[in-house]
Amino acid sequence: MRTEDLIKALDADARNKAMPLRSAWWMATAVAAVIAAVVFWFTIGPRSDIMIAMHTMRFLSKFVFTIVLAGTAFALIHALSTPGASTGKAATWMAAAPLLVLVAVVLELFAVPEAQWGTRLVGSNMMICMGFIPLIGIGPLAIFLWMLRYGAPTRPVLAGAVAGLLAGGLAATFYAAHCVDDSPLFVATWYTVAIIILTALGALGGRLFVRW
């Protein structure tokens, strides 16, 4: 088949249009959030003292970390799934969530006597944390990997890893409403481990499934 002939076929198919990538990402993320919410609600649900907890800085700070992670990952994954789009600025913003956690950790170290550092870090929920963040995030991750196939990422493994970070940020936002360990020491350790699990799965998924 000559290239001329191929162009004839492509032109004849011009009327067939797909949803613009940006709108598709918004929709997919909304669907992913609903799935995460349903899984969260039917498994662990919010903690019983959530109304009281909402008045504490430590509890609220968890949502700042997780929502900033999800928001920055969302911006980056959109750029990564668009060929030729510059990713530098969005990639730099990915440092925001870890930096916020770092600041909170330093503040916590000043606020809490050294003898309590260990118990705060270990907390009482670490296995649940490491199990449920990936569990809540696995459905959203599948949707995001499918979205990468819908897009055109020229770096599929990296894009898959960022899909894992986005799924992790989303899942951790829900999980944070359940978890009674509010210390930044706990969050910095176990949330990170849980989100890294999703990130690794995302990178693997990008390697295996994101072809176009």
Residues in contact with other proteins by CB under 8 A are 1-22, 24, 81-85, 151-152, 154, 211-212
Of 127, 106, 130, the C-alpha closest to 183 is 106
Q: How far is the CB of 12 from other proteins (least distance, A)?
A: 5
Q: How far is the CB of 26 from other proteins (least distance, A)?
A: 14
Of 122, 119, 126, 121, the C-alpha closest to 184 is 121
Q: How far is the CB of 6 from other proteins (least distance, A)?
A: 6
Q: How far is the CB of 17 from other proteins (least distance, A)?
A: 7
Question: Which CB atom, from 148 or from 171, has the smaller least distance to other proteins?
Answer: 148
- CB under 8 Å to 56, separation ≥6 — which residues? 182
Q: How far is the CB of 151 from other proteins (least distance, A)?
A: 6
Q: How far is the CB of 33 from other proteins (least distance, A)?
A: 23
Is the sign of the CA dihedral 21, 24, 29, 32 positive or negative?
negative
CA distances (Å), origin 183, targets 23, 120, 131, 153, 175: 37, 6, 19, 37, 14
Backbone angles phi, psi at 211, to 5 degrees: -125, 145
**CA dist., res. 19 & res. 77, Å (int):** 17
Question: Which CB atom, from 123 or from 153, has the smaller least distance to other proteins?
Answer: 153
3-state secondary structure (DSSP) of residue 112: coil
Question: Which CB atom, from 124 or from 207, has the smaller least distance to other proteins?
Answer: 207
Question: Which CB atom, from 8 or from 50, has the smaller least distance to other proteins?
Answer: 8
Asked whether 37 and 43 are in contact (CB, 8 A), the reply is: no
Of 26, 20, 38, the C-alpha closest to 143 is 26
Question: Which CB atom, from 142 or from 210, has the smaller least distance to other proteins?
Answer: 210
Question: Which CB atom, from 25 or from 186, has the smaller least distance to other proteins?
Answer: 25
Residue with tokens 């990713």, as numbered in its chain: 87
